Structure 1
Amino acid sequence: MSFSLGHSRLEALLESAQLLHSSLNLQDLLSHLLRSVMGRLLVTKAFIAVSEDGHMRLAQVRGLPKLKIGDAYHESEVRENGIRIILPVGDENSPVGFLGISQPIQKDADSDELEFLRALLGLAAGGIENAKAHSKANKLNEELDQKIQELKTLLDLVRGLTSSLEPDEVAQLLMLTLSGRWMVRKYALIAWKSGHPPVLRFKGMNPDLLAEFSSYKNTIEDLPDSMKVTDLPESSLKNLLMEESAEVLFPIKAGDRTTGGIVAIGGRPGNLSYSESDLDFGTGLVAQAAVAFENAWHVREAIERKKVEQELALAATIQENLFPSSLPKLPNYEFSARNRPARQCGGDYYDILPVGGVGSEGTFLVCVADVSGKGLPASL
């Protein structure tokens, strides 16, 4: 910094430096810097471009209606729009940005003013770097907080799913979690397993369109774990989802093609898009729900088997009581019998029945019968 700046310029420089380094908000810092320069030199057009992820982009724009904040910085373009002086912010070989101004209204910028600007921009470079680092740290903290919240949501869902023994309860819990997370008003869930009625959960979508899943159920296993509907290959499923304004799709996958399903989610409020992080989060929830669906269906099958076993046991008891508790003792004959069905019930029967006479001297009918077949049908 040269002392040729003069006492008044040094005071202004120190005052600006204090203000620039007192803020960690990048936009506030850049806005103050631009106002200071424009007010001092009385210019009507100015911009500041800042390096962002290796690309120089416009961060502040004044009096340049054709240029927008966020646009890529091109020197030729800003000069075409009336910018006459462009100075680097920081080191000339690796600047953190550029400041550009139009021709001053009253007079040309002399060497002293340009020296003042260079000194000011040199001081501002450190403040900009600090603000960018602070902004990056805040962004990382926000992402970390979001991941922590997603993990808590996942854990809460897992706790709920482990206590849900009905497929409908699993579907309700999953869709409440997803719709609450993204504040969506349209969604659909269809889950199926061979031998079970399909599980359907809808809001804002026509259930009749997606409930006929036979046309697309065989394609679910070939899809990735999550994807945007617009990226789906041309198919009947894509046409149905597009018709219902669905934006993202999460297939419900199991170990074989007898079990599967889909979760379709509509748009978010404010036209917010779904990020890769959102898709990863949804994939994790749907994967947990897929396991819960399988468990619920297995529990239902176990309950059904238990009911059948109880009914068979009752039928076996009834059939056992139909057999004679003892066989009559007849002269010149010795009878012994036992029924042991291949299954709990069978189609075999035996009995010795008196048909005439009195006592052991009477006439008896020996009955041995076998119905074709096995199990409960034969016993009936």
Structure 2
Amino acid sequence: MSSSSNKHDAGHSRFELKTLLETSRMLIESQDMDFVLNNLLLITMGKLMVSKGMILLYQPGSDNYIISKSKGRNCPKEGQTISFDWDKDIEEQSVIQCGVDDFEMPDLIEGDQHCTFFNLQTSNDHIGFLCLGSKGNKQPLSQHEVEFVESLSIISSVAIANSRMFTELRRINRMLDRKVYELNTLFDLSKDFNILVDRDEIIRIFKFAMLGQMLIRKFFFVLEHEDERKVMATSGINGELSDDETDKLFSLDDDLIEVDETLEKEIPFLAENEIKALIGLQFQSERVALVGVGARANEEEYSSSDYNFLQSLGNLAVLSIQKTYLLEERIEKERMEEELNIAKGIQKGLLPDPIPQSDELDIAASNISSYQVGGDYFDILEAPENRLLFAIGDVTGKGMPAALLMANLQAMLHVLLPVDISLAEATGQINEIIYQNTPSDKFITFFWGIFNPKNYQFQYVNAGHNPPALLRSEKNEFEELSEGGLILGAMSTMTPYDQQTITLSKDDLLVFYTDGVTEAKNKSETEEYGEERLFECIKQNRDLSASKIQNAIIEDVKSYSKDIQYDDVTIIVIKAN
């Protein structure tokens, strides 16, 4: 009897060992956790002939257990989460038999007071429990049965850990694949954006990427440029953002905001269009745009990776759009520079070269252009009977319009010069032509006069220009030649212009100038050069030649303004011989 029993036990042990080996190979080779858990539960229930069992997996983040597998009547349903208020020492026990071991365990299986808990653990982590109900004969598990299930639990714990590791690796691989896909998408889009200079086409591609790549059916894209905020693209949006709502959106602090009820109440547009998230976009460390996105068409929730992709896509689009603005500004700048160069050429061509000379007068004249072409004009023309005509003017505005108006003025002077009419009549005719043929915002301050060498008389008309300064040789006070009338082009010639005549004596000094001289500002731009400084400079240099007096004035103005010039500087100096 003893020999037969020993043979039976030996055969039984060999069968169990074979079962363990086959089961361990099957479980460890499997990478499917569901398969591992199912086999663990079914093999143990079948081996021990129990009708109820379950597997509880530990959730470290929430410190709860989830019922992963459940078989038999009165067992909790799979997927149910359970929280246990027990001593952590229980998680370190290999096996706990309810009703036998001195541990208080929860009554998981209704009506069964003799459950057995097998700890599923690796050397590093607690995974959960295999919970088996009592045997059909209501007897506790034998030591042999406990050891068998314990061994199977150890093997299964390794299989579960491996399965989790492979699951995590697959998740990471999927995430890496997604990242590679997103990077390739951004790379391809960046190539498309880089070759485009059409802002509408850039926005079209951006919209396509939102719809096609991210499956976003509702979104809006707002861009700020030169203090103006404009909706550049929308899809599936009803209504329009008000200026107040747009300002509130741009005032939000974070670059990623998931819309909640509070924000929906503050900005109703978001609730009306079911906007889920707001993404701020930056250019040169400043928020210049904002994208609002609704739910995805596949109903997947946005992940942090999705938001990062959207932000990268948006920033790429913003960079490309800003590039188009910069290109337009560059083209406009080049166009303006070309216009300025043409205007400077016209202006330079209008100035007398060489300057006519006279035995009776020492003459010097100069025009120093600022970067912005102004409307300064001067001319010295030889008139009939050896007379000399001196003219100086300042056209409103800058650039090409001012240069063209200057050219018209010079043409009129040349036409009227040989005509036998007085300066006053000629000034009236010039004013009428300019008034009738130029916009109301274009006019000219103008002074001109004719010098007669026979009697040293100088006849002049001042049409609203800075009065030339006359310094008599025997005096130390200035006379200003201001008689005339209104500036040219302001209104029709209702009242005739006044014409005055002065007689020059030896060493008398007459200085014509434009407002670029007297309105030059100091370095702090708080004070103008002014007439007093000009007159003082003329007095200090009155004994010099006309050319040196002119140079002294120019240097004094430059010194005062620290060589910062905002307007043309035009000067004519006449000294009677």
Q: Could you tell me the TM-score, scaled by structure 1's length?
A: 0.77
**1:21, distance to aligned residue in structure 2 (A):** 2.1
Q: What is the distance in 2 between the residues matched to 1:370 and 1:128?
A: 92
**Aligned-partner Cα distance in 2 for 1:175–1:365:** 68
User: How do 1:5-84 and structure 2 match up within 5 A?
Assistant: 6-40=13-47, 45-53=52-60, 55=63, 56-63=65-72, 67-69=77-79, 71-72=81-82, 74=84, 76=106, 78-80=108-110
Gaps of 5+ in 2: 1-8, 85-104, 406-577
**Aligned residue number for residue 314 of structure 1:** 342
Q: Distance between the aligned counterparts of 2:214 and 2:136, measured in 1?
A: 52
Structure 2 residue 180 is matched with structure 1 residue 148: yes
CA gap 1:72/1:283 in 2 versus in 1, 3 angstroms? farther
Shift of 1:200: 0.6
Cα offset for 1:284?
3.6
Counterpart Cα distance in 2 of 1:101 and 1:343: 94
How far, CA to CA, are the matches of 2:10 and 2:213 in structure 1? Answer: 59
Please state how far the C-alpha of 1:285 moved relative to its aligned partner: 3.7
Match 2:270 to one of 232, 241, 250: 241
Paired residue secondary structure (1:76): coil
Structure 1 residue 290: deviation in Å? 4.2
Residues 340 and 19 of structure 1, relative CA distance in 2, 3 Å threshold: same
Q: Secondary structure at the match of 2:338?
A: helix
Gaps of 5+ in 1: none
Give the 3 Å change call, closer, same or farther, for CA 160–12 of structure 1 in structure 2: same
Select between 317-326 and 141-150 the one with higher mean Cα deviation. Answer: 317-326
Distance 2:344 2:110 in 1: 97
Secondary structure, counterpart of 2:78 in structure 1: coil
Secondary structure, counterpart of 1:198 in structure 2: strand
Between 1:66-75 and 1:177-186, the stretch displaced more is: 66-75
1:97 to 2:128 alignment: yes
Contact 1:89–1:97 (8 Å) recurs in 2: yes
What residue number does 1:217 align with? 247
Match of 1:283 in 2: 311
Distance 1:108 1:167, change over 3 A: farther
Q: Is the 8 A contact 1:166 1:297 kept in 2?
A: no
Deviation at 1:205, TM superposition (A): 1.6
Deviation, 1:250, is: 0.8
TM-score (norm 2): 0.54
- Once the two structures are TM-superposed, the CA of residue 262 in structure 1 deviates from its matched residue by 0.6
Q: How does 1:329-344 map to 2 (within 5 A)?
A: 337-344=365-372
The reply to whether residue 370 of structure 1 matches residue 381 of structure 2 is no
Give 1:148's aligned amino acid.
V
Residue 217 of structure 2: aligned partner: 185
Q: State the Cα distance separating 1:213 from its structure 2 match.
A: 4.3
Moved more, 315-324 or 220-229: 315-324
- In the alignment, which residue of structure 1 is the partner of 2:280? 251
8 Å Cα contact 2:376-2:394 kept in structure 1: yes
Is 1:205 the equivalent of 2:237? yes
Q: Which has the higher strand share?
A: 2
| 1:234/1:367 CA distance change after superposition, 3 Å | same
Aligned-residue identity in percent: 26
1:52 deviates by 4.3
The amino acid across from 2:258 in the alignment is K
Which amino acid letter does the alignment assign opposite residue 246 of structure 1? I
1:304–1:187 Cα change, 3 Å: same
Which residue of 2 is the match for residue 265 of structure 1? Answer: 293
The structure, 1 or 2, with the larger RCO (C-alpha pairs under 8 Å, 6+ apart) is 1
Partners of 1:351 and 1:368 within 8 A in 2 = yes
Q: CA deviation at 1:189?
A: 0.8
Q: Deviation at 1:286?
A: 3.4
Q: CA deviation at 1:363?
A: 6.5
Q: What is the rounded CA distance, in whole Å, between the counterparts of 1:348 and 1:14 in structure 2? A: 105
Deviation of 1:331 (Å): 7.6
Counterparts of 1:341-352 in structure 2, within 5 Å, are 341-351=369-379
Structural RMSD (CA): 4.0
Question: What SS is found at the alignment partner of 2:254?
Answer: coil
Please give the secondary structure, in 2, of the residue aligned with 1:209: coil
**Paired position in structure 2 for 1:125:** 157
Shift of residue 196, structure 1, vs aligned partner: 6.4
Query: What letter matches 1:247 in structure 2?
Result: K
Give the letter aligned to residue 349 of structure 1.
Answer: Y
Conserved in 2, the CA contact under 8 Å of 1:191 and 1:261?
yes
SS in 2 for 1:216: helix
| CA displacement at 1:255 relative to structure 2 | 5.4
Q: Are the counterparts in 2 of residues 41 and 109 from structure 1 also a CA contact under 8 Å? A: no
| Cα distance in 1 for residues equivalent to 2:264 and 2:116 | 51
1:44-100 CA distance string (max 9 Å, x none): 543212234464432223457853327346563733486952321446997532122
Aligned residues: 371
1:329 is displaced (CA, Å) by 7.2
Q: Which residue of 1 aligns with 2:415?
A: none
